[in-house]
Each structure stands twice: as C-alpha cells, then as structure tokens.
Structure 1
Amino acid sequence: MQTQMNNDAFPRENWSASVTDDQQPGVPVLTGIAVGLGALLWLGPFMGINSVLNPAKLSNIIGQNAEVNNFLALLGTLGAVTSTITTIIIGALSDLTRSRWGRRTPWIVAGSVLTAAVMIGLGMINSREQLGLFILLWCLLQTFINFVVAPLLAVIADRIAPRHRGLISSVYAAGFITGQYGGPVAGGLFLSDAHPELINVGYYAMACAMLLSGPLAAFIIKEKSSLGMPVRKMNKEIFIKYFIFPVRAARDFYLALFGKMLVAITITAFSVYQLFFLTSGMGLTSSSAGHYISLMGIATMVTALIFAPLSGPVSDKLRTRKKPVFLSAMLIAAGTLIPFFWPEPEAMIWYGVIAGIGSGIFFSVDQALNLEVLPSHENSAKDLGILNFANTGAQILGPVLGALLYGVMGNQYLPILPVLALIALGGGILVMMIRKVN
C-alpha cells in the first residue's frame, strides 16, 4: 500500500504509533463510536450466519442428522484454524502499511467489501454438489473478516491514550456484546418453514450490514496518513519483529494471553453443553430446554450490556485493570457453579445473570489490559491478533475439554461444572501475576 508521494509532506518526526495522556486530555468520543459500531457490524452478521443461517441452510441441503453435525464441526475447526493463522499475518501487514489513508483504513474497508461478497456467495449455495465450495468460501470469510477485526482493535492502541482505554474498550465491548447476542436474533428472523428461501435473503441482509462495518468506522475515525512512518525493508530482524510471536519483554503478554484463554474456555464449554446440562443433567425435554436457554441468553446479554459500559470507566478511574478482570473471572466461575449445586432449570437463568455481569466486566476491562501488555505499539495489530488466539483457541479446546471431562466424570454433564469454574479462576490468577499493569 506504499505510494510514491513525496514523504516531505509527511515528515517522519510527526508520525507516532501511539498517543500519550498529555497529547489527549479529552475523551476521543468519535473514535469510541467508530470502533463500537465497527465491532457490532462485523460480529453481528458473522454470528447471525455462523449460529443460525449456516445450520439452517446445511440442514436443508444435507438433512437433520449426524452428517450435518459433522459438517458443522468441520466448518468450526477449519474456520478457527484459518482465523488463527490469518489474523496474525494480516495484523502484521497492517502494522507495516504506509498509505495516505493510514495503516488500518485500507484493510478494514477492503475487508468489509470482500467479506460481504463472500457472504453473498454462501447465500447462493443450495446443493450438495456445492458443499466443497461452501467450505472454501467459509475459509475465505474467516480470512477476509480478519482484515477488519485485527486492524479495528489496533485503532484503540494507535489512537487512544492509556487514560481513556478503559472507556473506549467498554464502548467496543458494548458493540461486541450486542453483535454476539443480537446477530443470532437477527438471523432467526429469516427462518421460516413455509418459506425456506428466506434463509438466502438472510445471508444477503447480513452482507449488507457487513458492508457498512469498515467504511462507516473509517469515515468516523478519519485516520491520519502513515506515509511518515519509517520505511521497513524486509530482513530477518523485521520479519521476526512483525511476523513471529514476541519473545523479548513478553512475560506479561503471555500471562494475559493464557489468562484470557482459560476464561474463554469456560464460557465456550458452558455454551456448547448448556443444552445437555438441561436435558441429561436436569431431565428436561429439548423444547423446554430451549425455553430456558433463551431466558438465560437474555439474562446474559442484558447484564453484560449494563456492566460492560460501566466497567471500563471505573477501571480508568481506579487506574487498575487486573483486579476487575480477576473479579470477572470469579463471577464467571461462581455462575458456572450454580447449576451444579442447584440442578434446577432456574439455575441457568441465574447463571446468565451472574456470569453475564462477569462477562460484561471481562470483555471491556480485559481488552484495555491487553492493550497495555503489548510488547510494542509499532506492531500492535499483529500482537493483538496473537491475543485473539485466546478466543479461537477456546472455540477448539472448549468442546474438546468438555467431551473429555464428560467421559472422566462417568458420562455425566453437571459434574464437569466445578472443573470449568476452576479453569476460569486459573485464568484470573494468571492475570493477577502480570507485573507492569496495576
């Protein structure tokens, strides 16, 4: 993305990879709105497709049987692996981008357009003969959406002073949570037994929302040119710095990574096996279990949306990140234990309330903490991409761990909950071991 423009118009001494507290006394409201909307408009469409439209479409094509479950598992695994690899590469390329539109803008705009195009392509697949193409397009979607994810997160590191990162991370978390829980609701609007063709319309609607994500965020952010950034000639040192996992002064970075992963594993495993907690564990029918899962989801979303915007500013005010994150891990662990000690369906709703509070705190403050353990702000997108491995890794390890624990516990589901709670607490303990962040 480098151009031939005269660099004298963008003197290097005026370019910086980050902003100090003294340089930004006021709250950067517009940047906060941009990253919050950007998160909502990429995650909402993704979750609507991944959680609702893909299973519905594939059930229509393959049938509601074990084969479709195996195909969905294959998509999940390939998607997580693809996302883990590409988010690091794309983050590194974003860090190195010199353009008149800045380091992040070209990527988030291109990513929105390309991801929307792939979503339309997925919507056009309607036969078994096209399932190979479906897998290819899904991997492309996981690649192109990372054009948006890693650079958009890096905007907070680039443009937000440390004193405001808790607040802006809370705004990002609010958009993230709304997209995470609202996307499946939006996707569900396109399910109809009488009109199965509406599923395809759902893909096209999600593509339209995705198309807005990058351009809208970029328009609001108005990122400055990065042509003043020093030119990086690729050599061994630059390659190691921008494309390899950090090894110097990275102790706190990895404590944050694995602390985040352990908490995410608990959340993911509980989500994957929630139906079985209610059916095999509590004796409900699938229909009754679905009712309680909906109530639990609403409780989780509401409490998370209340506490996410509050937690970041409080963290900024108290000038602490580790303690709120540890508190969130304790709340998630406590919520996870409720159905074990009280094996009644209502316990799942209380899980939603308690774990929802914990999740709201965690999503906002942990993101601010991640920004403060980065080894270098010059390659923040790459390192944030590595930290995102905590989420993609949890998507793979959560279900696997749950299955292993199910076997160890004598083919019972509820006894795995105390182990999941201990895992979440372990994540909180790792975060408390971080040294350079309060």
Structure 2
Amino acid sequence: MTTPLSSTAETSLPPSGSPPAPVARKFVAAYVLGQLGLWTALLTPVTVSISLKISQIAPDTKTSSLSIVLSIGALLSMVATPIWGNLSDRTTSRFGRRRPWLAGGVLAGTVGLVIIALAQSVPLVVVGWSIAQMGFNASQAALNALLPDNVPEDHRGRVSGMVGFTSKVGTLIGTGLVALSGGAVESMLLLPAVFGLLMIGLLVAVLPDRPADPTRLAPFRIADIARSLWVNPFAHRDFGWAWAGRFLLYLGYAFFLTFQAYVITDHLGYKDSEAPDLVFYGTLAVTIGGLLTAVLGGRISDRLERRKIFVGVSAAVMGAGLLIIGLSTTYTHFLIGGTVVGLGMGTYLAVDMALVARVLPNPDNAAKDLGVFQIANSLPQSLAPLIAPIFLTIGGSDHNYPATFMAGAVFAVLGALATAPIRGVR
C-alpha cells in the first residue's frame, strides 16, 4: 500500500533514521522550484554565458581558456560538495541543518557570477567561477539530501522525476533569459542568478527542517574533512556501481554541455551573434524530449518497483542522441539529436536519484553520501574539457566534433552497462 501525498502545509520530520512521513504537496512544489532556480543559476553559465564571456575577452584562445575555466571550477566544486554535505549533516543551527547551506550557498554563488560579469581577464573569470561553483554546490549538497530527508521510498520515483529534470528546464529558462538579455554578457550571467536567489528563498521559507541532534553526532575531527570525499566502493558495492554509471554518463553528456555553442559556430558555421538563440532552441529540444518521459518514467518505475532497467535503457538512449549530434551536418540534425538526448535524460534523472537514495551507505549522513555521489556529476565537467582535445584533434584539426561526440556516446553506453551489477535494487 502506497503512502498518499499529504495536503497539509508542513511535512512532519521523523526522528533521524526513521522513514520519512507523508510528503506535503507544498514542500514538493517548493522543492521543485528550488532545484529549478539553482540549476538555472549554475548551468546557464556553463551552457552559454561563460563561453561568450571568454570569446569576448580572449577570442584567440577561447577553446583552451574555456577548458581551463570550467575544469578548475568543476574540480573545486567536486571537492567542496561532499564537505558541505558532511557539514550540513552536522549543522545544529536553530535554523535547521539544510536552510543555512541553501541560503548561504546561493548568495556566494551569485557573488562569483558578479565577479565574472565584471572580469576583463581569464584569471579573474577563473576566480569568479570557482567561487560560484563552490557556492552553488553548497546549496546543491543540501538540496540533494531533501529527497531522502522528506520523501518516502514509494514516492521517490515520481518526486525525483519532477525534481530531476529541473536541470534541463532550468537550462531552458537560463538560455531564454540569455536570449532576452539584448546581447549584454553581464545580463546573461546575472539574470539567471537573480532567478536562482528567488526560488531558493521560496524553498527556505517553507522548508520543514530541523537541526542535527548533537547527541547523535560523533566528535568532529579535521580528518573528517578528508573522509567527506570518500565512500568505500568495495564495502558499498551498489553505491559504487551507481556512482560509476552516473560518472560515465555525465562524462559523455559533458561533451555536449561544454561544446554545444562551439558545435553550432565552428562545426555548423553559424555566427557567434546567432549562438544564444540557437543554444536556446537546442536546449528547448532537450527539454521537450525530457518532459515527455520524466514524470511518466518515474511513476511507472514506482508502480513496477523497478529502477535498474529504466536507468540502463535511458542512458543508452542518451548515447544514441549524442551520436546523432556528433554526426549532424545541419542544425536540424542537431535538434533531432538533442531531442533524443532529452528523451533518455528525462527518465534517467527521474529514476536514477531514486535508485541512489535506496543504496545510500548511511541515511543519517545523506547529504555527505550524496555529496560524494555529486562528484560523479562534477568530475566529468573537469575531465571532459581536459580529455576532449584527444578527440578534437583527430585528423589534424582542433574541432573534430564528430569524433568527440562519438566518444561521448560510448561513455554513455558504458554508464548504462554499469547499472547491471547493482543487487540491492531491482
């Protein structure tokens, strides 16, 4: 028998370690909007704004400069996110253990984007993006933990279906704001950040939250900072395989996220001035494809009580979409590939987080463990720009995007195969 969604205004938080109480619709709505706002602020710069800023201040080295900026920022966020998660799990503030990190993180991230907007050199963009990544990922660490904190197991597929695809809708909103910015890169960076501030503020206002129980916390030592970055994949094999699957899939997807603007300009021959609108339409194609499968996939997964098959098949579909993009010779082909990527991404994001919540090593440290899992999202952002030149330079050029996206498709399929050894989830 499933637990019904509660219509009450507050979600009653159970004692640590107990199953979550019925989840309030008000919380779910605020949770979705909070994730939507954060992804809008975080992913819009990755998708288009930073690449255009770099093209503006360093046109002769834009590809290598973009790789450096994104790699350093992603590396710092990868290290910071599980640490923020561990500290969130231990936060005894009267405002709760999640609220301070949600609010403080999005404020710090916005400061980083202001620095980028004002920057006139690549090193200053690096500084701004590093601050932005670490700040926004502090909020993300707290957001990730809200699913196991507040949502019962038999509703996690449908809730994660609504929440999971907010990354694509957030990117769509962000690229829409970019298209409406009138070509001013400063507005392209700051308008999505303002939207993120508003949405996280709404979530903080209605979030059911409580401080960590000091009596349940072991003494904190400096060594615990290093332990924040690690979950033993041999002791927790299911978590390890889930991490590997997400990492491989996102490594392939990072090629698309990082280089789509340059595919449009360098490979398909459009002007830089046309890129914001064309990236927006490409993001719209991904979003429409994902919306067709996100919530439905999560509901079917809940009903069948199966996760692995949905995760594996959807990852393989994403690989097919990346292959289509890599082989595209027209913008129409690019849009078709983006739609296929979205069809796979919708179900994948709906079900994969529900799968991961089931195999967490320690539910009492959900933010910390999910912070480690978040590394599987952020590490590819660092690695993709570093390893992409291996494929970009095949054939003697520096923009062999077909080979690069074919490699991305292979990584996505390997991510699909990584779900097979998971035993604790059907």
Q: Which bin holds the TM-score, normalised by the shorter protein?
A: 0.7 to 0.9
The secondary structure found in structure 2 opposite 1:65 is: helix
Spell out, residue by residue over 1:274-309, the C-alpha distance to the aligned partner (whole angstroms, 9 max, x if none): 56767887xx42349958765443221111123212
* Bigger mean CA deviation after superposition, 314-323 or 92-101: 92-101
Q: Which residue of 1 aligns with 2:379?
A: 393
1:217 to 2:203 alignment: yes
The secondary structure found in structure 1 opposite 2:344 is: helix
The secondary structure found in structure 1 opposite 2:165 is: helix
Q: 1:391 to 1:177 in 2, by over 3 A?
A: same
Please say if residues 120 and 204 of structure 1, whose CA atoms lie closer than 8 Å, have aligned partners that are also in contact.
yes
Residue 225 of structure 1: how far off its partner (Å):
4.0
Which of residues 151, 157, 161 in structure 2 aligns to 1:160?
151
> CA–CA distance in 1 between the matches of 2:48 and 2:330?
27
Q: Which residue of 1 aligns with 2:408?
A: 420
Structure 1 segment 101-140 matched on structure 2, within 5 A = 101-123=95-117, 125-128=118-121, 132-140=123-131
Q: Which residue of 2 aligns with 1:379?
A: 365
Structure 1 segment 49-68 matched on structure 2, within 5 A = 49-60=45-56, 62-66=57-61, 68=62
Q: Which residue of 1 aligns with 2:5?
A: none
Q: Which residue of 1 aligns with 2:420?
A: 432
Residue 150 of structure 1: how far off its partner (Å):
0.6
* Bigger mean CA deviation after superposition, 138-147 or 256-265: 138-147
Residue 189 of structure 1: how far off its partner (Å):
2.2
> CA–CA distance in 1 between the matches of 2:408 and 2:233?
30
Residue 242 of structure 1: how far off its partner (Å):
4.8
The secondary structure found in structure 2 opposite 1:435 is: coil
Q: Which residue of 2 aligns with 1:208?
A: 194
> CA–CA distance in 1 between the matches of 2:331 and 2:49?
28
Q: Which residue of 2 aligns with 1:195?
A: none
1:148 to 2:132 alignment: no
Please say if residues 95 and 380 of structure 1, whose CA atoms lie closer than 8 Å, have aligned partners that are also in contact.
yes
1:286 to 2:279 alignment: no
Q: Which residue of 1 aligns with 2:313?
A: 327
Please say if residues 89 and 212 of structure 2, whose CA atoms lie closer than 8 Å, have aligned partners that are also in contact.
no
What letter corresponds to residue 423 of structure 2 in structure 1? Answer: R
Residue 247 of structure 1: how far off its partner (Å):
5.2
1:252 to 2:238 alignment: yes
**Residue segments in structure 1 that go unaligned for 5+ positions in a row:** 1-12, 193-197
Q: 1:303 to 1:64 in 2, by over 3 A?
A: same
The secondary structure found in structure 2 opposite 1:82 is: helix
Residue 113 of structure 1: how far off its partner (Å):
2.7
Residue 96 of structure 1: how far off its partner (Å):
1.2
> CA–CA distance in 2 between the matches of 1:54 and 1:279?
15
Which of residues 35, 39, 48 in structure 1 aligns to 2:35?
39
The secondary structure found in structure 1 opposite 2:364 is: coil
> CA–CA distance in 2 between the matches of 1:210 and 1:272?
21
> CA–CA distance in 2 between the matches of 1:341 and 1:35?
38
Q: Which residue of 1 aligns with 2:349?
A: 363
What letter corresponds to residue 425 of structure 2 in structure 1? Answer: V
Q: 1:188 to 1:178 in 2, by over 3 A?
A: same
Spell out, residue by residue over 1:97-138, the C-alpha distance to the aligned partner (whole angstroms, 9 max, x if none): 123332211211222233334433443x2544xx65443332
TM-score, with normalisation over the residues of structure 2? 0.85
> CA–CA distance in 1 between the matches of 2:266 and 2:109?
39
> CA–CA distance in 1 between the matches of 2:402 and 2:125?
36
> CA–CA distance in 2 between the matches of 1:39 and 1:102?
19
CA-based RMSD: 3.1
Q: Which residue of 1 aligns with 2:91?
A: 97
* Bigger mean CA deviation after superposition, 203-212 or 388-397: 203-212
> CA–CA distance in 2 between the matches of 1:340 and 1:72?
20
Identity %: 26
Q: Which residue of 1 aligns with 2:301?
A: 315
Please say if residues 117 and 207 of structure 1, whose CA atoms lie closer than 8 Å, have aligned partners that are also in contact.
no
> CA–CA distance in 2 between the matches of 1:226 and 1:170?
28
1:29 to 2:25 alignment: yes
What letter corresponds to residue 427 of structure 1 in structure 2? Answer: G
Please say if residues 112 and 213 of structure 1, whose CA atoms lie closer than 8 Å, have aligned partners that are also in contact.
no
Spell out, residue by residue over 1:374-396, the C-alpha distance to the aligned partner (whole angstroms, 9 max, x if none): 10111111111111111212112
TM-score, with normalisation over the residues of structure 1? 0.82
1:48 to 2:34 alignment: no
The secondary structure found in structure 1 opposite 2:317 is: helix
The secondary structure found in structure 2 opposite 1:378 is: helix
Please say if residues 330 and 425 of structure 1, whose CA atoms lie closer than 8 Å, have aligned partners that are also in contact.
yes
> CA–CA distance in 1 between the matches of 2:90 and 2:211?
13
* Number of residue pairs aligned between Structure 1 and Structure 2: 410
Residue 341 of structure 1: how far off its partner (Å):
7.0
Q: Which residue of 1 aligns with 2:69?
A: 75
Please say if residues 166 and 315 of structure 1, whose CA atoms lie closer than 8 Å, have aligned partners that are also in contact.
yes
> CA–CA distance in 2 between the matches of 1:201 and 1:276?
21
Larger Rg: 1
* Bigger mean CA deviation after superposition, 200-209 or 84-93: 200-209
What letter corresponds to residue 172 of structure 1 in structure 2? Answer: V
> CA–CA distance in 2 between the matches of 1:274 and 1:14?
44
Q: 1:246 to 1:215 in 2, by over 3 A?
A: farther
> CA–CA distance in 2 between the matches of 1:260 and 1:55?
25
Q: 1:241 to 1:83 in 2, by over 3 A?
A: closer
* Bigger mean CA deviation after superposition, 385-394 or 245-254: 245-254
* Bigger mean CA deviation after superposition, 229-238 or 301-310: 229-238
Structure 1 segment 174-185 matched on structure 2, within 5 A = 174-185=165-176
> CA–CA distance in 1 between the matches of 2:126 and 2:327?
42
What letter corresponds to residue 143 of structure 1 in structure 2? Answer: M
